[in-house]
Amino acid sequence: MDTSSIDRRRLLLGALGAGSLAAVSRVLLPQDARGAVAAADPVGTGPQKAIALAGTDGWVSMPANAPADPPFFPDPLAPSPFNTYVFGFRDVSGLSDTDLAAQRGKAQISAPILVFDEEDEITLSLYNLGLSQRPDLFDGHTMHWHGFTNAIPLFDGVPELSLSVPVGRRFDYFYKPHDAGTYMYHCHFEDVEHVQMGMTGMVWVRPKQNRTGVNGYPVGTKYAYNDGDGSTRYDREFGIILTELWSAAHYRDAHIQVSDWTDFDASFWLMNGRAYPDTLAPNGANSVARPDGGLQYRPDLDTASGRLQYQPNSSHITCVPGERVLVRLANLGFQDHSLTCDEIDLTVVAEDASLLRNGDVTNYQTTNTVNIGPGESRDLIFTAPAVGDYFLYDRRYSFQNNGGGAGYGGMMTQISVRPSLPAQTQPNL
């Protein structure tokens, strides 16, 4: 690697001097773990960010041509054009109290993508709007930022070890992320149920390197990590969260029944809350760009997306030959998945928000199949090949269907390489 680069280890050991560095160069110190004290800026020194999420319930649509599975699917209680009951989060930042209250019963899946910078000081207000279909339940909700290192219990969202937000109340979580990467979030209240019902989303933390540039690449170049050499730079960025949907459980929640979660038996396999071919449909029609780089969707105002109204996140990947494309993967399902792209080499540069590098030793993996288990994340970079369409899909063919129906479904999306495209202004566009 370029000797002019500053790698994290040297930065950490700088105060000890070169002699100490030489003496310990082959010793991995625990402080090389993410979140090391020396790397952290203290609270009070970072940009303030505020975001508000609401937890509630609602209705969405699995592919309309999936075979019926009476009485579970399509759910007879579902208002047209929907067929499946869900819980979910909504981004309610900036809404008036009246508008906020009106979001009850209007959950989306997958949850809003949250995008931050390293050292942001984030106040995340979580509102519990209750369940419009199930007013008999007094379930709390919480925010668990999965993978946030050195968390304290109050902000980690496990109700048995901290608290949960009752119906009609709000709690303000605080996070100061010190480590870039691809994370995820979910409700941890009766997690097996609330996660399955749809309270899952992604969190991305952008590296400081985005603001400084490195190795001759100009400021404004985008990187996935503080790689020190530009190896994680990219031109376009897409995020895909993987989950499964068990129709019987969703039906039971809508119909005042209970599920034995050890009977879990997936009916649909989802990317960003949709099953193929819905994975290719565009993003939701009503959104505003947030100053923090994310998109706030208002599916309640989206009159154009029909049955996908409350599933605003597309998984379609578009790029131009030669571009470097970052794909952030997260899995909050209950199953392992093997995402395959037959004709494009994928370089895995990070797992679980940790760059695959240890000091000076880089261990990126180039592959065509990426295995990702429940709760894991991966960052993939590929160089867009010749113009054409390529599939990214779960190689487990028994998952490649919708409700057991004929034809392709499940976790499958397309990488469409086109001669030219507008510059990407927002992820997943």
Q: Does 359 bind another protein (CB under 8 A)?
A: yes
Closest to another protein by CB, 10 or 34: 34
d(CA 147, CA 183): 6
Of 321 and 359, CB closest to another protein: 359
- Residue 82: closest CA among 113, 64, 53, 60: 60
Q: Which is nearer to another protein, 63 or 147 (CB)?
A: 147
In terms of Cα–Cα distance, which of 243, 178, 242, 181 is closest to 379? 181
Question: Using the rule CB under 8 A, which residue among 120, 190, 300, 323 binds another protein?
Answer: 190
For the segment 321-350, give every residue that binds another protein (CB under 8 A): 332, 334-336
User: Which of the stretches 227-235, 283-291, 303-311, 355-363 binds another protein when contact is defined by CB under 8 A?
Assistant: 355-363
Candidate residues 4, 64, 77, 169; the one interacting with another protein per rule CB under 8 A: 169
Tokens representing residue 364 in the block: 């990126």
Is 162 exposed, middle or buried, given 0-12, 13-18 or 19+ CB atoms closer than 10 A? middle
Please identify, among the stretches 12-20, 62-70, 138-146, 293-301, the one whose residues bind another protein according to the rule CB under 8 A: 138-146
Q: Considering only residues 21, 69, 132, 166, which one is a binding residue for another protein as defined by CB under 8 A?
A: 166
Identify the CA nearest to 87 among candidates 203, 238, 188, 164: 188
- Chain residues 207-236 in contact with another protein, contact rule CB under 8 A: none
CB of 50 to another protein, least distance (A): 11
Q: Which of 189, 234, 238, 399 binds another protein (CB under 8 A)?
A: 189
Q: How far is the CB of 40 from another protein (least distance, A)?
A: 5
CB of 332 to another protein, least distance (A): 8
Query: Considering the rule CB under 8 A, would residue 15 count as an interface residue with another protein?
Result: no
Strand intervals (E) in 291-363? 295-297, 317-319, 324-331, 337-341, 346-351, 354-355, 357-358, 361-362
Q: How far is CA 188 from CA 114, 133, 199, 231, 237, in A?
A: 18, 21, 9, 35, 28
Report whether 349 contacts 290 (CB < 8 A).
no
Smallest separation, CB 422 to another protein (Å)? 35
Cα–Cα distance for residue pair 381/77, rounded to 1 Å: 43
Q: Specify the residue for token string 């008999």.
A: 136
Question: In terms of CB distance, is 11 or 192 closer to another protein?
Answer: 192
Q: Report the alpha-carbon angle 90-93-98, nearest 5.
A: 85
Question: Considering only CA atoms, which of 332, 280, 267 is closest in space to residue 311?
Answer: 280
Please name the residues in contact with 51: beta carbons below 8 A apart, sequence gap of 6 or more.
91, 93, 114, 122, 123, 124, 125, 292
Under the binding rule (CB under 8 A), the answer on residue 420 touching another protein is no
Count, residues near another protein per rule CB under 8 A: 81
Binding region for another protein (CB under 8 A) out of 52-60, 272-280, 352-360, 389-397: 352-360
Asked if residue 369 binds another protein (CB under 8 A), the reply is: no
The footprint of another protein on residues 236-275 (CB under 8 A) is 256-264
Q: Under a CB-based contact definition with an 8 Å cutoff, are residues 337 and 240 in contact? A: no
Q: How far is the CB of 38 from another protein (least distance, A)?
A: 10
Query: Do the strands 200-206 and 181-186 form a parallel or antiparallel pair, or are they unpaired?
Result: antiparallel
Binds another protein by CB under 8 A, chosen from 46, 55, 58, 140 = 140
Q: What is the footprint of another protein within residues 144-163 (CB under 8 A)?
A: 144, 146-156, 158-163
283 makes contact with another protein (CB under 8 A) = no
Under the binding rule (CB under 8 A), the answer on residue 416 touching another protein is no
x/- mask, another protein, residues 23-62, rule CB under 8 A, reads ---xxxxxx-xxxxx--x-xx-------------------
Residue (164 or 210) nearer to another protein, CB? 164
